[in-house]
Amino acid sequence: MNLKHPYLKRVYESVAARDKAEPEFLQAVEEVLTSIEPVIDLHPELEQHGIIERLCEPERLIVFQVPWTDDAGKVHVNRGFRVQFNSALGPYKGGCRFHPTVTASVIKFLGFEQCFKNALTGLPLGGGKGGSDFDPKGKSEQEIKRFCQSFMTELTRHLGQFTDVPAGDIGVGRREIGYMFGQYKRITNEFVGVFTGKAPENSGSLGRKEATGYGLVYIVEEMFRTLKREGIAGKTATVSGSGNVAIYAIEKATELGATVVTASDSGGYVHDPAGINLDVLKQIKEVERGRVSEYAARVPGATYHAGGNVWEVACDIALPCATQNEIDEASAKALVANGVVAVAEGSNMSTTPGGIEAFLAGGVLYVPGKAANAGGVAVSGLEMTQNSLRLSWTAAEVDEKLQGIMKNIFHTINGAAEQCKAPGNFVVGANVAGLLNVAQAMIWQG
């Protein structure tokens, strides 16, 4: 632990004693508390009102069983979660993740990060997160539907358009959201915007599917134009993952003139020096639900590296879009040695503390996920607005608003870093800016 400020040190020690079996959550808390040390003495009201203690403890953690029946008639039981972390700025907002690695620790770290991320968007959104240790891989359409309906049978009572509005995440796309929204509607007899990420034909927002990946690239483009006086055109980029965030980050980066040379999944990564052929990747991942290894078999010049480390590929820009802690210290040092200029996180907490230190020591422009991947929740907020007003904006209108939000986020975190006398340290900038937004609302509300 690197904390020096006595107040923050006491808070962390208390959290660590209470939640000692939750490593992901403790990692997220330590990263935030370490980075906000420069402003604690400037804002004595934070300690006076116990803001940090309250921010490190969720307002509510809901844990429940999810029984479901497979196609053979066998009953299975998974564990469901919803953390309603902080509602100072608005209703709880955050996705649902279906993956076997989901635990209370993972959900709490995601919800904690979401509080700061949502605050940076400037939209009236609190922080929350949810999910289950259910693994949708290998399940039939009917099994997934039955699981989603069972999940929502319990969770419905804790949701509402002015209370808690979930969305998608790993393992939860439009299909799963559709099943869950349908069950919510059947139980409550209401058609309200209580889920975002819905299909456009089902009252969803145009541009939501692309928003996290597009937003990730928009903030990198704005950073380059502000600090480097150039865009990302002509740059080489590596991307991890091959899901929704990765695909649309590749799409927008390519559109802006960068060459994206990698994509990956849990089995390994594919390297295409000519630039990822998005039509082929979308066919494999979105239509066939296949593996990236199939890409190399279809595209001449591409190679597949089973179990390889995508961060060993030389690049100017690295965009981790897979999962938490995917860049460790060794991978970060490999990126720095290969001349990486910027790293922006499409996944949440993509980089370990040692990796972050390596990036900052190497002069890399590093943007943490709470700022870099806020495009998804930003357009979710826009979807909530459209649902409430019973209207639909065009894809161009949504994209224009998204670009504006991501540009504002960059200038907010850049300005906060400079005010903290840590220019270029966007970890400090993002955490301080998000913290002060939430803290002001908490103090004002008593």
Distance between terminal CA atoms of the chain?
Answer: 31
CA angle 22–170–88, rounded 5-degree value:
60
Q: How far apart, in whole angstroms, are the C-alpha atoms of residue 105 and residue 187?
A: 30
* Partner residues linked to 268 by β-bridges: 265, 306
Phi, psi of 428 (to 5 degrees): -60, -50
Catalytic residue among 117, 129, 209, 285: 129
| Two tokens, residue 160 | 């509402």
Q: How far apart, in whole angstroms, are the C-alpha atoms of residue 90 and residue 307?
A: 42
* Partner residues linked to 61 by β-bridges: 83
Nearest alpha carbon to residue 190 among 166, 158, 156: 156
Strand 164-167: give its sheet, edge to edge. Answer: 60-69, 75-86, 126-132, 92-98, 164-167
| Residue 9: active-site member | no
Q: How far apart, in whole angstroms, are the C-alpha atoms of residue 269 and residue 304?
A: 6
Active site positions, annotated: 129
